[in-house]
A and B are shown apart, each in its own frame.
Chain A
Amino acid sequence: MNAPPDTAASPPDYRVQSRAVAERFRKLKERPVVLDVERLSRSFESEGGPVTALSDISFQVHRREFICVIGPSGCGKSTLIRIIAGLDHPSTGRMLLDGREISGPSADRGMVFQGYTLFPWLTVKRNVMFGLEMRGMDKVQAEREALQWIDLVGLSRFCDAYPIQLSGGMKQRTAIARALANHPRILLMDEPFGALDAQTRAHMQAHLMEIWRNVDITVLFITHDLDEAVLLADRIVVLKAHPGEVQEIIEVPVARPRTPAQLMTPEFLATKARLEELIHPRVETPVTPAEPLPIIRLTQVGDEVE
């Protein structure tokens, strides 16, 4: 293999994996399949006839895999996760969880929403206890378990606070604890950090990695942030819009454990470049050079800003 002389100018192929990474993927694929999405389609009725939001989506998620779904806006990634959660239904196709066909929402598929969706009338502790109580667990035991999960997300000091008193990051940590407390087979996350500021978002990503490493949980994570996808995922399912189809499933060649320091490594950049190419393809027809806007100058001479 003849390596290009300047790696910065042309990064390595995103499909090239180091031995450790390749080994990890080999092992990962030996694990049992938790979620199997088979030829899933979803179309909506609209005034202008049926609109296909998702078309023929198939992929598998292995146990304790971290999989990201990414795509341009309108590609139906939210519809996809809602169907998997059972909050929407597919037009055709089916989903298997541990080999059994699923339909309708259930506690075995926990979900974290972008809008937090904490119950505002319950304290952090009672929020986390909610799912446990739904299962019929008695209060004392539910409380004990809830406190462990709250501890895990680092909110012990706030277990008696109400959601309105929490910051966005704290709310989302509570939501994660609430979903995890149910021991779901798969954790569905619908752009969970989309509403957070950049710094909190970075913290939450690190935090989520830490949780994922230590808890037996499989994660399906939806995002539109390329960096976030590459940083978190084992594999990235790239969707394309109109209709939403799987364009490519990328195995992320970045070694684990991941840190933000890897954002500049060649593998990272190569993967990101590939995502960029898939999601924002270069338009064939050259864009006509933008005509200058018909604005007359309304400032004084000598007051130019550039």
Chain B
Amino acid sequence: MPDTLLKVEHLKKVYESSTGNVEAIGDISFEMTSGELVCIVGPSGCGKTTLLKCIAGLLKPTAGRVEIDGSAVTGPPPSMALVFQEYGRSLYPWLTVRGNVELPLKHKKLSRADRDRLIDDALVAVGLDHAAKSYPWQLSGGMQQRVAIARAVAYQPEVLIMDEPFAAVDAQTRADLEDLVRALHRERGMSILFVTHDIDESVYLGERVVVLSKSPTWVQEDLAIDLPPARDQISTRAMPRFTELRTHVYEQIQRAKRGEAVRPGATEA
């Protein structure tokens, strides 16, 4: 039995405002083991980003708890790295690519040589070793997101959390970046929690797909993706099993949108 890395238990988040309370997350529980690549998919507006922020310790949940390696998350844990959707606002434009990757390592107690090695290694991993001296705004969107991924890789997190990271890049770049995520997972054994609204992407990337209901959100289905681990854009997507799985997830999302799925243990019809 592999170790539980991340544990989300009965997470609930209510946004309080003067116009009334909004229950974004109803009750979410799931677990993730070390070395897994889990995709979270749900209808738009279902609180995916809220969930990630709670997991990453950026938001305080109203109820429930998040555990990483058995200890509760109360603030941003050092064992997590985040990749945001808005790469343009997540990278610092006054730092070079190298400076951006180096930034989170500054307060880690590393020797100059170790730090340089981590940075070089991360830049090679995302294929940007030639652009280290450029500034992020000199790069294309896809390359900027690669910088953000390199920054997260160099940080050596136990779990990499990605919040719809490829929503803002074009389709071809997106396919390249998806394969990059697969490669990081397969070659480096990184544990990745990948949030997306794209059903195909979730099935193509994940070993498990967690389907969320509409808001107030709960876990509608936790689906194992039994595709072979070596995946590529053409043959994997052409597999009958891939089509079955994506159809299944698609139907689940449609049910979620219509609110047909009934929350287990809920009294409402």
* A and B bind: no
Chain A interface (Cβ within 8 Å of chain B)? none
